[in-house]
């Protein structure tokens, strides 16, 4: 995926989230090393590079978390509302599956089989 296409997708994520300001969203963030954080909160602000959620904590407390649009683009952060994802995956599950080398390998496998 080239940079121009990525920039357009990030802009569309920003525009979409701008419409959800003030609404409750569920966030599932991959923090690395098999650590996945799930939280629910209100989308407070959208900025050019990131968005801010005010999430619920124990005993009625809240905390603010910020995420980058690029993390949504790469699938590291997933957003949903009422169980419905706001965005479909932008990056294919197996990005190497349709490269010319992979296609050649599949063709060779079918010929040899």
For 3-85, CATH number? 2.30.30.100
- CB half-sphere exposure, 53, CA atoms < 13 A: 25
- Per-residue pLDDT of the chain (113 residues), as tens digits, is 688 888 899 999 999 999 999 999 999 999 888 899 899 999 999 999 999 999 988 888 999 999 999 999 989 999 999 989 999 887 766 655 555 555 555 444 444 44
Q: What DSSP element (H or E) covers 4?
A: helix 3-18
Domain extents for the chain?
3-85
One DSSP character per residue, 11-26 reads: HHHHHHHHTTTTSEEE
Mapping DSSP to helix (H, G, I), strand (E, B) and coil, where does residue 91 land? coil
Give the global pTM: 0.74
């Amino acid at each position: 995926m080239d940079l121009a296409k990525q920039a357009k997708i990030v802009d569309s994520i920003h525009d979409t989230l701008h419409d959800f300001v003030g609404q409750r969203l569920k966030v599932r963030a991959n923090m690395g090393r098999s650590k996945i954080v799930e939280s629910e909160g209100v989308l407070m602000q959208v900025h050019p590079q990131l968005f801010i959620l005010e999430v619920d904590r124990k005993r009625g407390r809240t905390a603010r978390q910020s995420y980058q649009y690029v993390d949504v683009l790469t699938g590291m952060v997933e957003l949903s509302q009422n169980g419905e994802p706001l965005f479909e995956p932008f990056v294919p599950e197996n990005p190497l599956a349709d490269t010319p080398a992979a296609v050649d390998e599949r063709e060779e496998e079918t010929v040899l089989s």
